[in-house]
Amino acid sequence: MRLLVWGAGAIGGTIGAHLVKAGHSVTFVDRAAEHVDAMNKGGLRIEGPITEFTVPAVAATPERLEGQWDRVLLCTKAQDTGGAAVALAPHLSDGGCVVSVQNGLNPLTLAEHFGQERVLGSFVNFGADYLSPGVIHYGGRGAVVLGELGGETSDRARELYASFQQFEPGAVLTPNILGYLWSKLAYGAQLFATALTNDGIADALARPEYRALYSEIAREVLRVATVGGIRLESFNGFDPTAFLPGASEETSQRSLDDMVAFNRRSAKTHSGIWRDLAVRKRRTEADAQLGPIVAFGERWGVPTPLTARLIELVHDLEEGRRDFGSANLDELRAVMAVRA
Ligand SMILES: NC(=O)C1=CN([C@@H]2O[C@H](COP(=O)(O)OP(=O)(O)OC[C@H]3O[C@@H](n4cnc5c(N)ncnc54)[C@H](OP(=O)(O)O)[C@@H]3O)[C@@H](O)[C@H]2O)C=CC1
Ligand SMILES: CC(C)(CO)C(=O)C(=O)O
């Protein structure tokens, strides 16, 4: 298959390199010029405990890209989706489609640009980090799911799915991609909370004193999704039924335990959110990922005070107004106490 990977960082780089290795013709686009230069000169290197290899890579910055593609994998951070959609539009062929391989409800943004019939969604939960120009760390395997927004099993979905299986043999083709993306939003909100401290994901989710908080964060997001008619999906230890009304304490503890076990197996110890804040010193996806939860909550009449406060706390960290530490989780927990 001839593919354009738009955003060749942790996710786009890992998937793209595996697809090159599998024999596909992949062109990488990234706005980080030094990363593009390094890929063109020395190839794209994947490091980590799962596999180590370097593939030759054809890469360009958006301004220098020429040509059109039928299949585009969009792998930027969520806040860059709109800008990337505008920049990639001239490179998408008339019958072509864009697959959002991102956290958040980006397929909805892409559908506004291209129309729903030209967009597919992909949910990924493997762990990877951009290390340096031309080098990506693939730290842990995780769910890889693909689907048409309308749920149909089209030829193009089957074809893309076959290529995704060459990266992750356990990949899933689903009629319910939005169900996965909403479940990941709930897990993602928990990850944003873990990033308020310097603890790794597994250590943070294991701390007994904050388990009620992590459960309530998921519950709040899933309440919005459920009122919006979303059928939720489970993955890698995250069991949405454990955070729905009527779920027992034992079930939510079990799901948190399973998430801890999943994350202990990964060499990616910290979330991309924490890495953006602590290592890369840049803004996170808070507005682009958590903002829509609050917006849909307002639209569907579901209060989201925890998510709203979480966004503020993350902005404080981004802007240097507070330090990492469990005091931030205590402040978030105070919102729960007010509600109770
Ligand atoms: N990393 C992970 O383990 C996981 C990530 N995800 C999700 O996957 C998505 C991608 O994340 P990730 O790969 O970690 O992010 P990265 O920052 O590692 O990679 C994104 C790349 O896209 C580039 N980029 C941004 N905007 C544009 C643009 N308009 N045109 C061209 N290139 C652009 C970025 O450049 P620059 O550096 O200049 O911004 C960067 O190199 C996110 O939604 C994330 O939440 C999901 C599961 C796991
Ligand atoms: C941690 C991970 C890989 C989920 O397991 C993730 O989605 C992130 O870094 O944002």
- pLDDT, tens digit, for every residue of 259-310? 999 999 999 999 999 999 999 999 999 999 999 999 999 999 999 999 999 9
Q: Quote the ligand 1 centre to 316 CA distance (angstroms).
A: 22
Residue 153 pLDDT greater than 70, yes or no:
yes
Q: What is the architecture of the domain spanning 2-175?
A: 3-Layer(aba) Sandwich (3.40)
For range 132-145, the mean pLDDT: 98
Write out the residue limits of the CATH 1.10.1040.10 domain(s) in the chain: 179-339
Closest listed ligand to the CA of 138: 1
What integer pLDDT is reported at residue 339 of this predicted model?
60
Helix (H) or strand (E) holding 27: strand 25-29
For the chain, what is the mean pLDDT?
97
- Phi, psi angle pair for 145, to nearest 5°: -135, 145
Predicted model pTM: 0.97
What integer pLDDT is reported at residue 338 of this predicted model?
72
- CB of 14 shorter than 6 A to ligand 1: no
- CB of 125 shorter than 6 A to ligand 2: yes
Chain position carrying tokens 């599998």: 22
Residue 15 pLDDT greater than 70, yes or no:
yes
- CB of 131 shorter than 6 A to ligand 1: no
Residue 340 pLDDT greater than 60, yes or no:
no
* 158, burial (CB in 10 Å: exposed 0-12, middle 13-18, buried 19+): exposed
Residue 83: CB atoms within 10 Å: 12
Compute the distance between CA of residue 270 and CA of residue 96 in angstroms, rounded to an integer: 36
Residue 244 pLDDT greater than 90, yes or no:
yes
| Ligand 1 atom with the shortest distance to the CA of 88 | 30
Residue 175 pLDDT greater than 60, yes or no:
yes
- pLDDT tens per residue across span 41-93: 999 999 999 999 999 999 999 999 999 999 999 999 999 999 999 999 999 99
ipTM over 0.95: yes
Q: What is the architecture of the domain spanning 179-339?
A: Orthogonal Bundle (1.10)
- The single-letter code of the amino acid at 151 is G
Write out the residue limits of the CATH 3.40.50.720 domain(s) in the chain: 2-175
Helix (H, G, I), strand (E, B) or coil at 25: strand
Closest listed ligand to the CA of 38: 1
